[in-house]
Amino acid sequence: MPHYEGANRSGKALILHLLAASGAYLNFDSLGLDPVAVDLGFFTIKWYSLAYIAGIMLGWWYLIRLLGEPGAPMARRHADDLVFYVTLGIILGGRLGYVFFYRPEILSNPMDVLKLWEGGMSFHGGLIGVIVAVTLYLRSARLSFRGTFDYVAMCVPFGLFFGRLANFVNGELWGRPTDVAWAIIFPRAGPEPRHPSQLYEAGLEGLALFALLWWLFWKTGARHRPGLIAGCFLLGYALARTALERVRQPDQGLENLPWGMTMGQTLSVPMIAVGLYLVLTALRGPGVKGGMNGGAKAGA
């Protein structure tokens, strides 16, 4: 049986190679996408940088919009400081997470850790960084932990959406080889057509997750149960990431982890556990109606 399974894999790879050579699939290079958005010769701006800026700015705007609703856990004056801490968490945590989770060899030359312009950020690392940075801010400002993270979670899908689109423009983080009709040949990944998994992630982690959180906040009483929205965000992202790892090409050197999961799936396990804890405790606990902009506590 192992002989035939190996033969089947080799045969499928050959078929995909022949289909790619025949021009049956879209070639990424034919899209004319350039990672550089602005090139002034002495100064360049990449789409990846703009994706971070767009995600943070839209998230900032949306946070202020959310704080205008009854029951907000903080006042408008807290938003600017909170966004500053979130940005620090994203950058520092995202970079350190990438180094420790995916490229520990970078530590052999510590100065390379600072080379953000060469790329390399981890969502899970960024999430840890945001949690640590925001927690430090909340302790100094004496604000609600769960309630604030509900509002922060509402804004995260913007960054996820634009970040995954930037991954696609960069022609990186491609999917596994496939023969689906919409497969794309990424020349840097080899001749085989592959899943455009960056677009799948933009759709699920960005658009679909935003829609879920929007519905919870605006159409249900979820925002009056501190921790419920944050828990749903953690669960939603982790489940989407775990599923999409089946079509996303694992990072080099991390293809076959001993426990049978990819690194992305492994890092999503604690997110699922924490998400479930937040959701269950939020549903069992008393609801809170009111906040810094008015209202009073009430059981629910």
Helix (H) or strand (E) holding 44: strand 44-46
pLDDT at 298: 33
Do residues 66 and 293 touch, judged by C-beta distance below 8 A?
A: no
Instruction: List the structure tokens of 158.
Output: 């913007």
What's 1-56 look like in SS3?
CHHHHHHHHHHHHHHHHHHHHCCCCEEHHHHCCCCEEEECCCCEEEHHHHHHHHHH
Q: Where are the domains of the chain?
A: 2-74+144-284
Largest Cα–Cα distance of the chain, in whole Å?
Answer: 70
Identify each DSSP E strand in 179-295 by its residue range: 184-185, 193-194
Please list, in sequence order, all residues whose beta carbon lies within 8 angstroms of the beta carbon of residue 96, skipping any fewer than 6 positions away. Answer: 113, 125, 129
- Rounded to the nearest 10 degrees, the angle between the axes of helix 209-219 and helix 228-244 is 160
pTM for the model stands at: 0.86
Question: Which regions of the chain are under pLDDT 50?
Answer: 1-5, 294-300
State the Cα–Cα distance between residues 206 and 156, nearest whole angstrom: 8
Q: What are the binding residues?
A: 164
Do residues 147 and 228 touch, judged by C-beta distance below 8 A?
A: no
Instruction: List the structure tokens of 164.
Output: 């995954």
State the Cα–Cα distance between residues 71 and 65, nearest whole angstrom: 13
